[in-house]
Chains A and B, each alone.
Chain A
Amino acid sequence: MTSTAPRDLNGFTDLAAGMRAWRTWALLAIEDYRVRYHRTLIGPLWVAISFAAFVGVKIFIFSFAMSRDLQYYSVYLCAGFLVWMFIVQVFSEGCTTFLAAKSWILGIPAPYSLFLYQGMLRNIVSYLVTLIVALIIVYTVRPVPLPYVAVSFLSFLLLIFLMFWVQLFLAVLSVRIRDVVQLVNVFMRIMFFLTPILWIPSAVSAGARAFAQYNPFTHLLAIIREPLLGSMPTAVNWYVYLGLLAISIISSLGLYSLEYRRLAARL
């Protein structure tokens, strides 16, 4: 193996080189997951229990405030919260992707993107148990035809693709500006209440309904949640998704290329 420079990579080639090392990040992600429940009795089931408990309590408290029937609201909340959990996880863990890998990055010359893929896979794996529990709840409470479930699943894959670029952007930005880590956590906590997860736009004031339309998270939730409620996402939902995707790819690749050569020097 020869190279013309010790790290003959730029932002673009780094993403490809990291992908080629899939065995490495797959192993790291699986070890992360295994270690998280090291020496616990029921391990990953805790996530599912916490999810089921949270959703159950919220349904109990908020269902009478919403005009829709209980079944509809249960599925609405369950699916919405499920997607939100994933988004929040990517946002908050995304910020610390490179910061947490500091000792690796300064200790061994490997493609940085390896840690992005590791983080994304870890998020997906730790999410699977919750996903299964949520789908069981949705399917027992208010079954929808299988093609709708399939659309919802495809939308979820599209969300993962979008979230990868968001993660890249936040990971690089947080190395440059450490405050981003805290800022994102505060921001996401506020957005939880400003996004239609607990509340249904049609059941609240006109002002809140209008705001929901301008909140990009509303549309990201809709492409996955709507099919589970038995209707298809609207064209606007998809336009917003595509717009967010374009912005995320361009800005994250731009920032990564710009910061790439100095990333380790800033850690």
Chain B
Amino acid sequence: MAKIELDNVSLALSNSLFGKDEYILRELSFTLNQGDRLALIGRNGAGKSTLLRLLSGVYLPTTGDIKVDGKVSALFNLSVGHRRESSGRTNMIIRTLMQGEKYEEVKAKLPEMEAYADIGRYIERPMETYSQGMAMRVTFSAATAFRPDILLMDEWLGVGDAEFRAKSAERMTEMSSSSGILVLATHNERLSMENCNLGLWIDRGRMKALGNVEEVWAQYKASMKVSSEVPQPDQMLDDSNG
């Protein structure tokens, strides 16, 4: 059973030798159980991505305790460690191994990953010869090949051309619904309503509100005092993916 427990967790990052530590997250306490779908809401720089990194284990809390049960998959940086001079296939293997998957399972899954990326013989060529779309196919295929208990995402992923985007959207839905816990950091109201039941509003590293996703969104929007005429971020998202 997937479970996440945070007890009074704070996280400070330090960017200089003698400077003061900067607290990015302060006194967070909450529990997520099997079946919970949490949308992280908040302004840019509020600490959403940092919280995702904390939940994944990239950062350890400076103070407080965190307990995570279940296999975690972090989809917040698809192209991490991506090597231009190595082949798509090698990059797939490296990515999945780094994720902590077992070598035998990676080997068994490789044909499926390659078929999913569907870039033909290019899979054996260096990734520097790929178009951006092809590179995205490869990284997406590898990053989403295994099913986690806990899925952490920074914005919803939709990549590639029309055909691949439909395919990847399908996989994202399947992956998020099959995971025990989903935590999705997003500026997209519609997406968080569709995929999440809980909302957590973070402001300057502190918890502002936690509860039903619709209510938390309502509180967040009320604080922003913006009219509903402002374009929704999902429109911007559609434009930003080539």
Contact = CB atoms under 8 A, between A and B. Distances in A.
- A and B: real partners? yes
Nearest to B24: A265
B29 interface: no
Contacts of B13: 265-266
A246 interface: no
Interface stretch (B85-93, B115-123, B232-240): B85-93
24 contacts: A4-B67, A4-B69, A6-B57, A6-B60, A7-B57, A21-B97, A21-B100, A24-B98, A27-B93, A27-B94, A35-B86, A38-B85, A103-B80, A104-B80, A107-B76, A107-B80, A108-B77, A108-B81, A108-B98, A176-B17, A262-B62, A264-B58, A265-B62, A266-B13
B103 interface: yes
B12 A265 contact: yes
B58 A1 contact: no
Contact of B81 (A7, A104, A262): A104
Interface string B55-67: 1111110100011
Given A5-B66, A6-B68, A109 B17 contact: no
Contacts of B70: 2
Contacts of B183: none
State which size class the interface on A falls in: 20 to 34
A108 B90 contact: no
Contacts of A266: 13-14
Interface string A73-109: 0000000000000000000000000000001111111
B8 interface: no
A35 B56 contact: no
A261 interface: yes
A3 interface: yes
B213 interface: no
Nearest to A267: B13
Contacts of A21: 97, 100
A26 to B, nearest CB: 10
A177 B14 CA distance: 12
B11 interface: yes
Contacts of A23: 97, 103
Interface string B66-84: 1111111010110011010
Interface string A26-65: 0110010011001000000000000000000000000000
A110 interface: yes
Given A5-B66, A104-B98, A109 B80 contact: no
B99 interface: yes
Interface of B: 11-14, 17, 53-60, 62, 66-72, 74, 76-77, 80-81, 83, 85-86, 90, 93-94, 97-100, 103, 126
A31 B98 CA distance: 14
Contacts of A176: 17
A34 B87 CA distance: 11
B83 A3 contact: no
B153 to A, nearest CB: 14
A265 B24 CA distance: 10
Given A108-B81, A176-B17, A7 B97 contact: no
A117 B85 CA distance: 21
Contacts of A109: 56-58, 72, 74, 100
A261 B60 contact: yes
A183 to B, nearest CB: 13
Nearest to B150: A6
| Nearest 4 CB-CB pairings of A with B | A6-B57, A107-B80, A109-B57, A7-B57
